[in-house]
Amino acid sequence: MIWFIIKRLMQTIPVIIGVTIVVFVIMQLVPGDPAVLLAGEGATKETIEALRQQLGLHQPLYIQYFDYVSNLLRGDMGFSLKNNQPVLQEIMTRLPITLELAIFSTLITIVLGMLAGIVSAIRPYSILDTVVMVVALLGISLPSFWFGLMLMYSFSVKLQIFPVAGWDSMLHIVLPAFTLGAGGAAIVARMTRSSMLEVIRQDYIRTARAKGVKERVIIYKHALRNALIPVITVVGLQFGALLGGTVLVESIFAINGLGRMIVDAIRMRDLPVVQGGVLVASLVFVVVNLIVDILYRLFNKRIELN
């Protein structure tokens, strides 16, 4: 197990290098000059050129990239072009908020999705199964930003149950978490249903029923345990999707998380902040994938971790 973890961590190195290259190239293709944006309207050419020299923007792109990577290896992500604050400090301030939002959204995805999928699998092709699958289809189809606005209008503006925006208490978490988790719950519900139906048809389930084992024990101890493998995969992928979805949700609900920080940095062409934010988000996703692989082994001893 330890060797597997070390091996997987080593495999993340090319991924991280690829992320830094892709983000760097994309940011260079964005129209506008960071020096002009920082200097403001009416700045002279001399002022703009001095800023370019100060920021190292006058150097060739490959030198700018290698300077960034060499600093990164020393734990230095640079300074924000907008407020001259260390990028790592800004990220560590915003990251816990985004992780908290993603974790609560994932819990909603798992609980609602698996419950709906199990109910549908126990009563396949019934009216209840049809209703659950239709709701799941709607959950997949509805855009998260529209769903978030509808939740805000219904429960914040009209009913005044939850706060409209911010991140100060548990009440602030509910609407953003449901906005992010609803689509994932729909996907998990469909996957749980199909996986459960496949397992329930296996011979060992028929044998357990023939021996008089209680249906609840068959469903939750035998069928669900073996049906969880593909569901775990989907949940792991959904966590990555939730990290990406925080960009929209944090903007809608005025949450000062990592996603909103990246959006603001892209608007200002604050390259160090964008690179640092995307890099940290990629690292979190890699760690989640590693945890998913380990969970495979915990739920099914026959799976070898290579």
pLDDT of 2 reads 75
pLDDT of 68 reads 80
Contact assessment for residue 285 and residue 243, using Cβ atoms and an 8 Å cutoff: yes
- 79 three-class SS: strand
pLDDT tens per residue across span 278-288: 888 888 887 88
Has domain 94-299 been given CATH number 3.60.140.10? no
Q: How confident is the model at residue 17 (pLDDT cuts 50, 70, 90)?
A: confident
> How many angstroms separate the Cα of 139 from the Cα of each of 184, 185, 292?
8, 8, 24
**pLDDT for 60 beyond 80:** yes
- Intra-chain end-to-end CA distance of the chain, in Å: 9
pLDDT tens per residue across span 155-181: 988 888 888 877 878 888 899 999 888
pLDDT of 13 reads 82
Q: 0.85 cut: is pTM over it?
A: no
- 86 three-class SS: strand
- Among the listed ranges 1-5, 60-64, 153-157, 257-261, which one has the minimum average pLDDT value? 1-5
- In the chain, what are the domain boundaries? 94-299
The average pLDDT across 188-199 equals: 86
What count of Cα atoms within 13 Å lies in the side-chain half-sphere of residue 85?
10
DSSP 47-70: HHHHHHHHHTTTS-HHHHHHHHHH
% of the chain with per-residue pLDDT over 90: 0
The average pLDDT across 209-238 equals: 79
- Among the listed ranges 56-70, 210-224, 252-266, 284-298, which one has the minimum average pLDDT value? 284-298
pLDDT of 302 reads 57
pLDDT of 14 reads 85
pLDDT tens per residue across span 25-38: 877 777 777 777 77
